[in-house]
A and B are shown apart, each in its own frame.
Chain A
Amino acid sequence: MFQLDLKSRTSIYEQIVDNIKELILSGVLRAEDKLPSVRELSKTLTVNPNTTQKAYRELEYQGFVYTVSGLGTFVAERVAEKIDPKRLEELKEEAGRLVRELLFLGLGEREIRALFEDVLLERGVLS
């Protein structure tokens, strides 16, 4: 499903959370899709089951998945109000940093605007 980077400074549990989020956001995993069980995923990735469990709990807390006891963990329908404000702040900051870097590299307003519009088009937000 995905690979972990043991050399990374990011903890294994955060890596699992990020990877699964990425799969959901990119549409590889759709709403109501079943995630592998904690056991299965731990075995495939050779990761401590307690760590996987924790990552699933975090994903559930952030509203990306939900668990039905006895049945497993499923991708949740996206609900807007569940967005973590702290995470939102982090991402805005990150986007700002990238724009500043693009400006530094000499890109103009039009090129940067086009970049944003491309993403919006791709997601169907802009037509």
Chain B
Amino acid sequence: MIKVEGVNKKFDGFQALQDLDLNVKKGSIYGLVGTNGAGKTTIIKHVTGVLLQDTGTIEIEGEPVYENIGIKSRMGYIPDDLFFFSPYNIRESSRFFKSVYPNWNEERYEQMVKRFDLSEKGKLSKFSKGMQKQAAFILTMSSMPEYLILDEPIDGLDPIIRKLVWKYVIEDVAERDMTVLVSSHNLREMEGICDSIGILSKGRMMIERDLDELKSDIHKIQVAFESKPDGAYQGLNVLHQENRGTVDLLIVRNKREVVEDIIKKNKPLVFDLLPLSLEEIFIYELGGGDSEIESIIF
């Protein structure tokens, strides 16, 4: 269990994190999403104990993370900006990982190198970006982490390797109850993998919820009436509305049953209710009111 409470961080007067709370349950896959510069990497660097917060607490299993070797040895972290000792190949790097991580699994390392088909001879620093990510993933997963923290893990990977990466992650969550915190801009892929979602904006946590709950709360509806009665949409909690001919398109935040009751009362000719994708939720929650963004999307 990862628990972040009221964390503040300033860099040279710039408020990077503001009263940030974040909770990851054990065995959960938590997706951290947010616009560029929202503070995703910053909070990840705090959760991994790379940076120290100004105020607030960051605890894993009730212990503060910063300088906590016991916790860190059970944590795997793949940063967005990878680092390798420049003369090392992956085999040499694995010896370093083995010396640091007590749960290192040699068998898994061998098996993963074969699966990913990576050269054990080439210097890691000479690898392409995608191959470096794979190498980092193999090394991290072979250390058998209980907490896996991934910053943009699939960025730059081809679809086949991405699938393989998720397979390993899922397997460890299923078999060992591993806890995962992952940040990404690829919302479609996050939607298939995560069970909880945290949406960050400007250093604050906007929404933190179970993904299915989040999705069951917000809907896209298309309605047409023979003649639209006054106040047909009263009580719907409309986030966005536009007309396409006689059909109205609305984004509403409400329970499905409530929406259906209100709309059906007036005998609509057409009534479609669709769940929103995570991508759409992200846009409505973060781009709401910004007409420039809206005009691109609709």
A interface list, Cβ under 8 A from B: 4, 6-7, 9-13, 38-39, 42-43, 46-51, 54
Q: Give CA–CA (A11, B195) in the complex, Å.
A: 11
- B277 interface residue (CB < 8 Å to A): yes
Residue B130 at the chain A interface, CB threshold 8 Å: no
Contact at B174–A54, with CB atoms within 8 Å? Answer: no
CB pair B275–A43 under 8 Å, yes or no, is no
Taking CB atoms, residues of chain B closer than 8 Å to A13 are: 212
- Does B170 contact A6, Cβ atoms closer than 8 Å? no
What are 11 A-B contacts defined by CB distance under 8 Å?
A6-B192, A9-B274, A9-B275, A9-B276, A11-B215, A12-B192, A38-B174, A46-B167, A46-B193, A48-B193, A50-B27
Contacts of B215 on A, CB cut-off 8 Å?
11
User: In the complex where A6-B188, A6-B191, A6-B192 touch, is A47 in contact with B170 (Cβ < 8 A)?
Assistant: yes
Question: What's the tally of chain B residues with a CB closer than 8 Å to chain A?
Answer: 25
Known: A6-B191, A47-B192. 15 other contacts (CB 8 A): A4-B192, A7-B188, A9-B274, A9-B275, A12-B192, A13-B212, A39-B175, A43-B167, A43-B170, A46-B167, A48-B29, A48-B173, A48-B194, A48-B195, A49-B170
Chain B residues, CB < 8 A from A39? 174-175
B120 within 8 A of A: no
A117 to B27: give the CA distance in the assembly, Å. 50
Are A9 and B277 in touch, CB under 8 angstroms? yes
Q: Which 9 A-B pairs have the closest CB atoms?
A: A39-B174, A50-B195, A49-B174, A6-B192, A42-B174, A48-B195, A9-B275, A48-B29, A46-B166
Within 181-215 of B, Cβ neighbours of A (below 8 Å) are at 188-189, 191-195, 211-212, 215
Given contacts A39-B175, A48-B194, contact A10 B170 (CB under 8 A): no
Residues of A within 8 A of B195 (CB): 48, 50-51
Which residue of chain B has the shortest Cβ distance to A45 in the bound complex? B170
A13, A46, A47: which has the most chain B beta carbons within 10 Å?
A: A46
Complex CA distance for A6 and B278, rounded to whole angstroms? 12
